[in-house]
């Protein structure tokens, strides 16, 4: 057993971390995160150059990584820097293209931006109730339906859409300009889109896509969990530092035992969150991937909320302000519960496993 | 013991309901329902409507133009207002300064300021907190120096809620820097138009503007703007904090939030069913509902006790702690129920067809984040626990 990162991964984590803290200070981050187009093309290109995207795909698909731990190091760094760029969308698209055996150079080189349309209003988390449907038309297909909160849909060139097809789910590629895309910013920064498909031309990528979709979701969950761990580390560190600096009643508030113990509880939970993320990352691609991903996402959902709320509370008013970075970390930590299945959804999946 | 309302209370409830049905403008209740920020004219209009009916100052004695209601009547009124989506009463003049002037103010101050609070001439804000003085309010530094027949004020207040709309601010100022902390503080009324005052907005976590910084540079106000005795402001501050706690449990607002969460859970679909049919989510709702049911009674018990004793006691701290936790949990559930649909930044999606679900579900994430304030302000929940530890447990 070895809990250390390989040298390559450590190097990528360090480089990306340094890059984000130097090029992406919170003021700039907030500008990008909350002002249209909710995206910084220059930074995106630099991330391509740093090899971020290559790290997300396996060698067989033209990448240099693609394992659970490759994904988690990248996303932990993104979480530390509170990066609002839709790298998650690129990861999930890459994962799907790899499963489909479709060439993805344009994704890895950053030439074209991908988003993934799975979620729908009435089926935000579950694959079973997707309503968007494909119809064969000539040698191609058309899609009809609405994909909701498509993360990264605001800047995508191509959207990979999950749609009902031949009794199951198929995966289709839609050119963004062919669909009706409404972009918006999100509560926690970054952009998404509503994608309305109305007999929209689409290319079949994978006919029976359930397994590939589940794998992309599992990879996405590992990514989100690692992002949360990164964001929690920073949030906790800032909070502890504040407890040392802020004085009330003539002493640093960190001298109050009630706050000390809660800071310790946060730390304990963050360590637990890190562990379950490591577990899920190690199982990615294997038979236990879905179960451990669900366990991880459930625990992360609980811990991230605790850390966000406690960080604000223990700061007092200051962390309620837009000026202070903890408010933005807190928003990200809470809102990521609603991505790729929330606490309850994943708890019910773990529970469903007992019946099987 | 008898938990039922008397015939008079029931009749009173009906009277309140029919008044609200008639008098509360739909555009205002719609604004409250949709969870956005209320405009100043909306809040003023609602105050004026209540004032016309004589129901604005629910915690003032009759002699000052208040309702003189019993705790149960206040409770019924609050509950009905929440049910009807009436705006909250802006508390600074009515719930804070009013009672202070009634107890500590001179006859002249009472005659001058109280009617102006009722008729909306003066919008007040609260100038207590400073950057360095939050929980430890008594360490405040804003300095007021007695010069001739004036006070000269220098310093900074912060977190001043709705100060951007205010005509006046009531301030705690240090008037004797030599005295022991609590002993050198005075309570002074300041016209916001006085030269030397600058108000700067603070943007909150969800992007809204409700709090401000207020800077004082050589601000001169008449000496008679002092309320009570010089250097006795701390007594007033403590009195006011206990009044700030009436209604602190926010039971009515939590009942409103509970209904909203239930409605959302019935509307939202997950796994081919309504979210309400998901036992995990239903359990979350049921747990808060149980807490809230108990809180309604706890609240009434403590209101009665306050009435018997003539003033709210330290038990109100328990109301604040549990009341805010319940309310925050409900706000969490609303956000949770919507899932990704709570994600768009409020106001970004303007196309009604693209709104997630019905239009009245927007703002749920924003409200959740904004509401984290309730366990911080008015004495944080940690400070409330300290109060109970000292006063009730004598530890
Ligand atoms: C949205 C909002 C609106 C507000 N409106 C107003 C207003 O209109 N007028 C006004 O005057 N003020 C207002 N306030 C200020 C509010 O009252 C203060 O934020 C509050 O008193 C806490 O002070 P602080 O923010 O400086 O936190 P601090 O006092 O620095 O506290 C930081 C943390 O330490 C904890 N802590 C402090 N002392 C102790 C202790 N002895 N034991 C254990 N824990 C402790 C606190 O509970 C908190 O968790 C508002 C605040 C907010 C957020």
Atom number in ligand 1 closest to CA A253: 34
Taking CB atoms and an 8 Å limit, are B343 and A338 in contact across chains?
Answer: yes
Residues B180 and B318 in one domain: no
Contact A79, A229 (CB under 8 A): yes
Give the fold, CATH level 3, of A114-208: Butyryl-CoA Dehydrogenase, subunit A; domain 2 (2.40.110)
d(CA B22, CA B44): 18
Specify the DSSP element, H or E, that contains A198: strand A191-206
CB count within 10 Å of CB B147 equals 10
My answer on whether B128 and B251 are in the same domain is no
On whether residue B310 sits in a domain, the answer given is: yes
Where among B89, B109, B134 does a domain terminate?
A: B89
CB A353 within 8 A of CB A332: no
3-state secondary structure of B54: coil
Bridge-based pairing state of the strands A114-117 and A158-165: parallel
Q: Does residue B120 sit in helix, strand or coil?
A: coil
Residue B32's H or E segment, with its range, is helix B26-34
Does one domain contain both B194 and B265? no
- Give me the residue from A129, A186, A320 closest to B272, CB to CB: A129
The answer, for A257 touching chain B at a CB cutoff of 8 Å, is: no
What's the CATH number where B138 sits? 2.40.110.10
Selected residue with higher pLDDT from B390 and B349: B390
Residue A97, C-beta contacts closer than 8 angstroms, at least 6 positions apart: A61, A103, A104, A107, A160, A205
Q: What is the rounded CA–CA span in Å between residue A35 and residue A197?
A: 26
| Same domain for B259 and B221 | no
Token pair of A289 as six digits: 């991937």
**A93 in helix, strand or coil?**
helix
Q: How far is the CA of B134 from the centre of ligand 1 (A)?
A: 5
For residue A271, how many other CB atoms are within 10 A of its CB? 11
Judged by DSSP in three states, A163 sits in strand
Average pLDDT rounded to a whole number, residues B337-351: 82
Specify whether B244 is catalytic.
yes
Q: Please indicate, yes or no, whether residues B256 and B365 belong to a single structural domain of this protein.
A: yes
Q: Which of A270-279, B20-29, B193-202, B307-316 has the lowest mean pLDDT?
A: B307-316
SS (H, E, C) B205-220: CCCCEEEEEEEEEEEE
> What interface predicted TM-score (ipTM) does this complex get?
0.96
Which string of b and e fits B94-110 if b means at least 16 CB within 10 Å? bbbbbbbbbebbeeebb
**Does the CB of A322 have a partner CB in chain B at under 8 Å?**
yes
Task: Report the C-alpha gap between B86 and B55 in whole angstroms.
Answer: 13
Round the average pLDDT of chain A to a whole number and report it: 96
Q: What's the CA gap between B260 and B361, in Å, rounded?
A: 9
Looking at ligand 1, which atom is closest to the CA of residue A314?
49
Please report, for chain A, the start and end positions of each structural domain, with discontinuous segments joined by +.
7-108, 114-208, 212-355
Over residues A234-263, the mean pLDDT reads 98
CA–CA dist A219, A217 (Å, integer): 5
Q: Is this structure's pTM higher than 0.90?
A: yes
- Provide the pLDDT for residue A226: 98
Q: How far is B366 from chain A (nearest CA, A)?
A: 7
- Radius of gyration in angstroms for the set of CA atoms belonging to chain B, rounded to a whole number: 22
Nearest chain A CA: its distance from B221 CA (Å):
29
Q: Express each pLDDT in B237-265 by its tens digit.
A: 988 877 655 578 899 999 999 999 999 99
Select the residue of B135, B280, B340 nearest A338 (Cβ to Cβ): B340
Cis link prior to A37 (omega < 30° from 0)? yes
Q: What are the pocket residues of ligand 1 if the criterion is a CB atom closer than 6 Å to any ligand atom?
A: A 246, 248-249, 253, 256, 258-259, 313-317, 320; B 126, 128-129, 134-135, 159-161, 211, 373, 376-378, 380, 382-383, 386
CB A139 within 8 A of CB A114: no
Cβ proximity of A64 and A54 under 8 Å: yes
* Pick from A316, A44, A68: nearest CA to B378: A316
Rounded Cα distance between A299 and A295, Å, is 6
Nearest chain A Cα to B133, which residue?
A: A248
Q: Among candidates A119, A186, A176, A121, which has minimal Cα distance to A153?
A: A176
Q: Do A7-108 and A212-355 have matching folds? A: no
Could you tell me which CATH number the domain at A7-108 has? Answer: 1.10.540.10
Q: What is the mean pLDDT of residues B184-201?
A: 98
Atom number of ligand 1 nearest to Cα B128: 11
Indicate if B272 and B365 belong to the same structural domain: yes
Q: Which of A94-98, A332-336, B85-89 has the lowest mean pLDDT?
A: B85-89
User: Cβ separation of B343 and A342 shorter than 8 Å?
Assistant: no
Within 8 A of B132 by CB-CB distance, chain A residues are 247
Q: What is the pLDDT of residues B363-393, one digit of tens each?
A: 889 999 999 999 999 899 999 999 999 999 9
Q: Which two tokens stand for residue A284?
A: 């990615």
Nearest CA to ligand 1 atom 17: B377
Closest C-alpha among B95, B25, B104, B12 to residue B60: B95
φ, ψ for residue A40, nearest 5 deg: -120, 100
Helix (H, G, I), strand (E, B) or coil at A43: helix
Chain A residue whose CA is closest to B139: A249
- Its domain, for residue B131, covers 122-232
| Cα–Cα–Cα angle for A341, A343, A346, rounded to 5 degrees | 60
Contact between residue A295 and residue A276 where contact means Cβ atoms under 8 Å apart: yes
- Residue in this structure with the two tokens 């809230």, named with its chain if needed: B292
Exposure letters B190-204 (e unless 16+ CB within 10 A, then b): bebeeeebebeebeb
Residue B380 alpha carbon, nearest atom of ligand 1: 47
**Cβ atoms of residues B41 and B123 within 8 Å:** no
Chain A contact set for B159 (CB, 8 A) = 317
In order, the DSSP letters of B256-312 are: HHHHHHHHHHHH-EETTEEGGG-HHHHHHHHHHHHHHHHHHHHHHHHHHHHHHHSS-
Determine the residue of chain A that is closest to B325 in CA distance: A309
- Domain assignment present for B111: no
Position B75 scores a pLDDT of 87
Number of domains into which chain B is organized: 3
Residues composing chain B: 395
Residue nearest (by alpha carbon) to ligand 1 atom 31: A316
Region A223-242: what's the mean pLDDT? 98
pLDDT per position as a tens digit, A156-209: 999 999 999 999 999 999 999 999 999 999 999 999 999 999 999 999 999 999
Q: Does A121 touch chain B (CB under 8 A)?
A: yes
Q: What does the mean pLDDT of chain B come to?
A: 92
Name the minimum distance, in Å, from the CA of A322 to any CA of chain B: 5
Let me know whether B252 and B179 are in one domain: no
For residue A35, the distance in angstroms to the closest alpha carbon of chain B comes to: 11
Catalytic residue among B78, B130, B244, B260: B244
Is A259 in the B-facing interface, judged by CB distances under 8 Å? yes
Residue B36's alpha-carbon distances to A353, B302, B372, in angstroms, are 42, 32, 16
Model confidence pLDDT, tens digit, residues A105-145? 999 999 999 999 999 999 999 999 999 999 999 889 999 99
Helical axes A325-335 vs A26-34, angle rounded to 10°: 50
Which chain B residues touch A148 with a CB distance below 8 Å? Answer: 340-341, 356
Question: Residue A80: is its pLDDT beyond 80?
Answer: yes
Reading the block at residue A24, the tokens are: 């992406």
pLDDT of residue A31: 96
Mutate to test the interface with B, among A33, A263, A320 (most CBs of B within 10 A): A320
Atom of ligand 1 nearest to the CA of B125: 8
Beta strand pairing status for B168-174 and B124-127?
parallel
Q: Could you tell me if B278 and B372 lie in one domain?
A: yes
Residue A119, min C-alpha distance to chain B (Å)? 9
Does the distance separating the beta carbons of B284 and A344 come in below 8 Å?
yes
Dist CA B48 CA B147 (whole Å): 39
**B383 alpha carbon to ligand 1 midpoint, in Å?**
9
- Residue A106 has what pLDDT? 96
Give the mean pLDDT of B69-96: 92
Q: With CB atoms and an 8 Å threshold, state whether A182 touches B351.
A: yes
What pLDDT is stored for residue A92 in this prediction?
98
Residue of B nearest to A348 (CA): B280
Q: Are B218 and B196 in contact (CB under 8 A)?
A: yes
Spatial distance between the Cα atoms of A305 and A232, rounded to a whole number of angstroms: 10
> In the beta sheet, which residues pair with residue A147?
A195
B108-164 confidence digits (pLDDT tens) = 999 999 999 999 999 999 999 999 999 999 999 999 999 999 999 999 999 999 999
CATH class of A212-355: mainly alpha
**E-strand spans in A80-208?**
114-117, 133-137, 140-151, 158-165, 168-175, 180-185, 191-206
CB of A263 less than 8 A from some CB of B: no
Say what the pLDDT of residue B358 is: 41
Q: Which residue of A has its CA nearest to B284?
A: A344
Q: Which among B328, B366, B377 is the nearest to A187, CB-wise? A: B366
Which residue among B205, B280, B357 sits closest to A321, beta carbon to beta carbon? B205
Measured between CA atoms, how close is B201 to chain A, in angstroms?
11
**Token output for B376:** 């911080």
Render B122-139 in DSSP notation, one character per residue: --EEEE--BTTBSSSGGG
Chain B contact set for A255 (CB, 8 A): none
Q: Cβ(B233)–Cβ(B187) under 8 Å?
A: yes
Say yes or no for a CB contact (<8 Å) between A322 and B339.
no
> Could you tell me which residues come within 8 angstroms of residue B301 by beta carbon, excluding any fewer than 6 positions away?
none
User: Cβ B343–A188 below 8 Å, yes or no?
Assistant: yes
Q: Which of A192, A248, A316 has the CB atom closest to B343's CB atom?
A: A192
pLDDT digits (tens, 9 = 90+) for A210-231: 999 999 999 999 999 999 999 9
Q: Is B213 among the domain residues? A: yes
Q: CA-CA distance, A220 to A292, in Å (whole number)?
A: 13
Q: How remote is the C-alpha of B137 from its chain's centroid?
A: 19
Give the pLDDT score at B353.
Answer: 60
Q: Residue B78 and residue B198: Cα distance in Å, rounded?
A: 35
Q: Euclidean distance between the first and final Cα of chain A, in Å?
A: 31
3-state secondary structure A221-282: HHHHHHHHHHHHHHHHHHHHHHHHHCEECCEEHHHCHHHHHHHHHHHHHHHHHHHHHHHHHH
User: Quick one: pLDDT at residue A263?
Assistant: 98
- Token output for B352: 């009604």
Among protein residues, the one whose CA lies closest to atom 32 of ligand 1: A316
Residues B178 and B68 occupy one common structural domain: no
pLDDT in the model for residue A86: 96
Tell me, what CATH number does B351's domain have? Answer: 1.20.140.10
Ligand 1 geometric centre to CA of B372 (Å): 12
Interface of A with B in 40-79 (CB under 8 A): none
Atom of ligand 1 at shortest range from CA of A258: 43
* pLDDT above 80: residue B347: no
pLDDT of residue B346: 79
In a domain, B76, yes or no: yes
Q: Collapse the DSSP code of B56 into the 3-class scheme (helix H, G, I; strand E, B; otherwise coil) and give the result.
A: coil
Cβ atoms B157, B128 nearer than 8 A: yes
* Intra-chain end-to-end CA distance of chain B, in Å: 32
DSSP annotation of B232 reads B
Query: Which has more confidence, B301 or A237?
Result: A237
Residues B263 and B379 in one domain: yes
> Which one, of A345, A116, A341, A100, lies nearest residue A225 by Cα?
A341
Which pLDDT score is estimated for B94? 95
């Amino acid at each position: 057993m070895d809990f250390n990162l390989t040298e390559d991964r450590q190097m990528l984590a360090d480089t990306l971390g340094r890059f984000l803290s130097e090029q992406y200070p919170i003021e700039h981050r907030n500008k990008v995160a909350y002002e249209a187009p909710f995206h910084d093309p220059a930074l995106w290109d630099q991330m391509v150059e740093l090899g971020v995207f290559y790290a997300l795909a396996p060698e067989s698909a033209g990448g240099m990584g693609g394992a659970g731990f490759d994904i988690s190091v990248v996303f932990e760094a993104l979480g530390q820097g509170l990066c609002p760029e839709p790298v998650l969308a690129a990861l999930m698209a890459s994962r799907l293209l790899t499963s489909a055996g479709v060439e993805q150079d344009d994704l890895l080189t950053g030439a074209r931006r991908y988003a993934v349309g799975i979620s729908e209003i009435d089926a935000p988390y579950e694959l079973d109730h997707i309503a968007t449907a494909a119809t064969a038309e000539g040698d191609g297909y058309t899609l009809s339906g609405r994909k909701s909160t498509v993360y990264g849909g605001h800047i995508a060139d191509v959207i990979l859409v999950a749609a009902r097809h031949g009794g199951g789910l198929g995966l289709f590629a839609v050119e963004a300009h062919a669909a009706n895309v409404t972009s918006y910013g999100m509560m926690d920064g970054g952009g998404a889109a509503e994608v309305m498909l109305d007999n929209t031309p689409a290319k079949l990528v994978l006919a029976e896509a359930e397994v590939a979709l589940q794998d992309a979701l599992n990879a996405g969950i590992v990514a989100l969990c690692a992002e949360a761990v990164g964001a929690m580390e920073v949030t906790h560190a800032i909070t502890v530092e504040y407890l040392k600096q802020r004085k009330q009643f003539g002493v640093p508030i960190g001298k109050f035992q009630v706050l000390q113990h809660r800071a310790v509880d946060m730390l304990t939970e963050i360590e637990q969150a890190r562990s379950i993320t490591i577990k899920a990352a190690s199982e990615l691609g294997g038979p236990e991937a879905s179960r451990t991903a669900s366990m991880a996402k459930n625990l992360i959902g609980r811990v991230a909320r605790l850390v966000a709320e406690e960080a604000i509370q223990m700061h007092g008013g200051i962390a309620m302000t837009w000026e202070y970075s903890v408010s933005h970390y807190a928003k990200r930590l809470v809102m990521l519960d609603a991505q790729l299945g929330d606490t309850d959804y994943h708890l019910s999946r773990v529970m469903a496993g007992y019946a099987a | 013991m008898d938990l039922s309302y008397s015939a008079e209370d029931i009749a009173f409830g009906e009277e309140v309901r029919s008044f609200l049905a008639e008098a509360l403008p739909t555009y205002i209740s719609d604004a409250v329902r949709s969870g956005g920020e209320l405009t100043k004219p909306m809040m003023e209009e609602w105050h004026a409507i209540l004032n016309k009916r004589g129901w604005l100052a629910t915690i003032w004695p009759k002699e000052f133009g208040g309702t003189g209601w019993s705790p149960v009547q206040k409770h019924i009124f609050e509950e009905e207002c929440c049910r009807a989506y009436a705006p909250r009463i802006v508390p600074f003049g009515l719930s804070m300064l009013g009672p202070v002037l009634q107890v500590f103010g001179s006859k002249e101050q009472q005659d001058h300021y109280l009617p102006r609070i009722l008729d909306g001439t003066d919008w007040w804000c609260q100038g207590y907190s400073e950057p360095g003085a939050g929980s430890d309010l008594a360490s405040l530094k804003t300095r007021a120096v007695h010069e001739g027949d004036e006070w000269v004020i220098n310093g900074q207040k912060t977190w001043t809620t709705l100060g951007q709309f205010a005509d006046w601010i009531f301030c705690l100022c240090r008037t004797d820097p030599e005295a022991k902390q609590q002993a050198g503080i005075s309570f002074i009324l300041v016209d916001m138009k006085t030269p030397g005052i600058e108000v700067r907005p603070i943007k909150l976590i969800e992007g809204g503007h409700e709090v401000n910084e207020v800077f004082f540079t050589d601000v001169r106000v008449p000496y008679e703007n002092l309320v009570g005795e010089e250097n006795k402001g701390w007594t007033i501050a403590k009195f006011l904090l206990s009044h700030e706690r009436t209604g602190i449990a926010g039971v009515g607002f939590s009942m409103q939030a509970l209904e909203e969460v239930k409605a959302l859970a019935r509307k939202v679909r997950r796994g081919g069913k309504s979210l309400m049919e998901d036992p995990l989510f239903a359990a979350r709702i049921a747990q808060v509902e149980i807490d809230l049911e108990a809180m309604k009674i706890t609240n009434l018990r403590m209101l009665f006790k306050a009435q018997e004793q003539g003033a709210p006691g330290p038990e109100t701290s328990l109301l604040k702690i549990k009341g805010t936790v319940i309310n925050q949990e409900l706000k969490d559930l609303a956000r949770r129920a919507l899932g990704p649909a709570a994600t768009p930044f409020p106001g970004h999606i303007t196309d009604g067809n693209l709104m997630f679900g019905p239009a009245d579900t927007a703002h749920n994430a924003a409200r959740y984040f904004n509401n984290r304030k309730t366990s911080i302000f008015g004495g944080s929940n940690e400070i409330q626990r300290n109060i109970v530890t000292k006063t009730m447990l004598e530890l």
